Amino acid sequence: MAYERLVQGAKMKELSVVVLAAGEGKRMRSGCPKVLHPICGRPMLSYILDSVSTLTDRVTIVVGHEATRVKETMGPGWEYVFQADQLGTGHAVMQALPGLPASGQLLVLCGDTPLLETRHLREMLRQHPPGGATVMTARVPDPYGYGRIIRSSRGQVEAIVEEGEATVEQRAITEVNTGAYCFDLKLLARYLPMLEEKNIQREYYLTDLISLFNNDGHPVQAYRLADYRVGLGVNDRQQLAEAAVMWRERINRGLMIKGVTLIDPETTYIDYGVEIGPETEIWPQTIIEAPCTIGDRCRLGPSTHLKGAVLEEGVTIRNSVVEDSRIGAQAMVGPFAYIRPGCQLGSRVKVGTFVEVKGSNIEEGTKIPHLSYVGDADIGEGVNIGAGVIVVNYDGRRKHRCRIEPGAFVGCNSNLISPLTIGEGAFVAAGSTINRDVPAGSLALARTEQKSFPGRASKLIGRKGSPGKDKSHHPDV
Ligand code: UD1
Ligand code: CA
């Protein structure tokens, strides 16, 4: 049969798709329209759009609540139809109808079912009787909130009854409507105007079409999902979290198949679209937010948070945060480092314990191992920054840059007050506060000279009431 062949093929000529995304999503209790709530770093609506875009280019999105925001987020490339008042799922499809072809098949999908994949839609279409309707169903452990599938004694689908209208017996039915349907377009155009809003919600229910079709003898079928979980409809934040758990599983599984080691997939949170090279090992409690690109053979975590990071190969990051920065091959970060936006670390750079770096370029092999703040600095290769060094970039009004040329050595606990250049191979003595350029190869020493007063210590230590008299208080004496 010709239709069968169309369904098997890559894109289907006779197929149009309408995605319903006009609702506010009251149960989310949110200022953000429901379909834009993120799941693994991207709007919920993107997932169903991905699933349909491999089937056809004719995709219409019905928008209404916060329509501009939804359109701006999803971008051009889609046909948008505006539903000014959200009078129900049937009403939403009515708004799209004038723009649809007069014949062929129409997939109607909801923007809040982010787990349905192309293969599920394709499978439903394969079983769909042209000249009828198919509804995608699932048998769920808890049917609360979903429309129930009413079947005749012979198992024929007769109607869908919404939670609010269902009798006690109907509520016990565990086969539910997932909100995905296929309709013959000619029939749909004939029956949509017959929908009425005579129900508890005073809405035009798309689901009423099923009984209308059935009453007039048009074939109505159910395509039941083998795994009910992929039919999940997200109405509240609990279901949002459930959807995210399932998407995380998919993302993590995909990465493991590609050769990424996840020590504990359940506590590894990786956004959709993050790229990770093979042989990279990720330890528990690590969060990788999109966009991020991670090279081969990196070692990340435990307890590491990356966002907007590009990591070349062989990078190690332990117990640290990296934002909008690029880290060179074999670099080592952490434990307990904070790489803030705008940093580029060259290969084999070390940024160690309790070090914060911001807006800085740090070239190959440079080491900042302990307890430093480096703000707005350009540091050449092979520089050694001692423990506790602060690059003072802010004078209370403006930010300034500091340049440290290759091979320089900055002694512990120094302050480098920008704007400033430390020349190539220069040596800054520990404890210096430097506010003028240091020429290449120079030793800079900027601290008060030490004085020692022989015998004076016991006078200070021995003052009244002090440990000088009662040695038991003073552990060092
Ligand atoms: C709907 C179905 C229910 C099914 C469930 C599956 C109806 C009447 N009920 O209920 O049988 O089990 O989905 O998840 O269809 N929308 C619009 N315009 C509107 C109303 C809704 O575009 O006027 C959109 C929403 O943005 C959403 C989708 O349609 O993406 C579904 O609406 P929602 O209110 O979530 O319907 P449910 O109560 O879940
Ligand atoms: Ca819903």
CB 350 within 8 Å of CB 368: yes
Structure tokens that stand for 205 in this block: 């229910």
Q: How far apart are CA 6 and CA 107, in angstroms?
A: 14
The ligand minimizing its distance to the Cα of 26 is 1
Is residue 20 within 8 Å of residue 53, measured between CB atoms?
no
Q: Are 301 and 322 in contact (CB under 8 A)?
A: no
User: Cα–Cα distance between 393 and 247 in angstroms, integer?
Assistant: 42
Q: What is the separation of C-alpha 210 from the centre of its chain, rounded to a whole number of angstroms?
A: 37
Beta 261-262 vs 148-151: how paired, if at all?
unpaired
pTM equals: 0.93
Q: 2-231: which CATH number, 3.40.47.10, 3.30.70.920, 3.30.470.30, 3.90.550.10?
A: 3.90.550.10
- What pLDDT is attached to residue 379? 99
What is the distance, to the nearest Å, from the Cα of residue 444 to the centroid of all Cα atoms in its chain? 48
List, in sequence order, every residue forming a beta bridge with 95; answer none if it has no partner: none
| Atom from ligand 1 closest to the CA of residue 83 | 18
Residues 265-274: pLDDT tens digits? 999 999 999 9
Backbone phi and psi for residue 460, each to the nearest 5 degrees, phi listed first: -75, -45
| 268-270 and 175-184 beta bridge pairing | unpaired
Question: Taking the CB of residue 185, how many other CB atoms lie within 10 A of it?
Answer: 18
Instruction: Name the average pLDDT for the chain.
Output: 95
Residue 202 CA: which ligand is closest?
Answer: 1
| Phi-psi map region of 429: left, alpha, beta (phi>0 left; psi -120 to 50 alpha) | beta
The Cβ of residue 31 has, within 10 Å, a number of other Cβ atoms equal to 6
The domain segmentation of the chain, as residue ranges, is 2-231, 260-444
Q: What distances in angstroms separate CA 192 from CA 12, 75, 93, 149, 195, one per listed residue?
A: 24, 29, 8, 20, 6
Q: Residues lining ligand 1, CB < 6 A? A: 20-23, 35, 62, 64, 83, 86-89, 91-92, 110-113, 146-147, 160, 162, 176-179, 205-207, 233, 235
**Ligand 1 atom having least distance to the Cα of 91:** 23
Q: Quote the longest CA-to-CA distance of the chain.
A: 110
The amino acid sitting at 331 is A
Ligand 1 nearest atom to the CA of residue 92, by list position: 18
Nearest CA to ligand 1 atom 22: 22
Place of tokens 């434990």: 335
Alpha carbon distances (Å) from 45 to 86, 296, 428 = 18, 31, 56
Structure tokens at 272: 């959709």
Phi, psi (degrees; rounded to nearest 5) at 308: 65, 35
| Residues annotated as catalytic (active site), given as ranges | 370
* Angle formed at CA 180 by CA 175 and CA 185, multiple of 5 degrees: 125
Amino acid code (one letter) for 124: M
Q: Are strands 38-39 and 361-362 parallel, antiparallel or unpaired?
A: unpaired
What's the gap in Å between 135 CA and the centre of ligand 1? Answer: 14
Give dist(CA 112, CA 242) in Å, integer.
13
Ligand 1 midpoint to CA 89 (Å): 6
- 181 CA → ligand 2 middle, Å: 14
CA of 59 from ligand 2 middle (Å) equals: 20
The closest-lying atom of ligand 1 relative to the alpha carbon of residue 201 is 8
Give residue 10's pLDDT.
58
Q: Which CATH number fits domain 260-444: 3.30.10.20, 3.40.640.10, 3.90.76.10, 2.160.10.10?
A: 2.160.10.10
Which residues of the chain are modeled with pLDDT < 50?
1-2, 5, 468-470, 472-477
What's the confidence (pLDDT) of residue 1? 46
Among protein residues, the one whose CA lies closest to atom 8 of ligand 1: 205
Ligand 1, atom 11: closest residue by C-alpha: 147
Of 39, 86, 110, best ligand 1 pocket probe by most atoms within 8 Å of the beta carbon: 110
Residue 331 alpha carbon to ligand 2 centre in Å:
47
Taking only the tens place, the pLDDT of each residue in 100-129 is 999 999 999 999 999 999 999 999 999 999
Tokens 């940093």 identify what position?
Answer: 343
d(CA 97, CA 18): 9
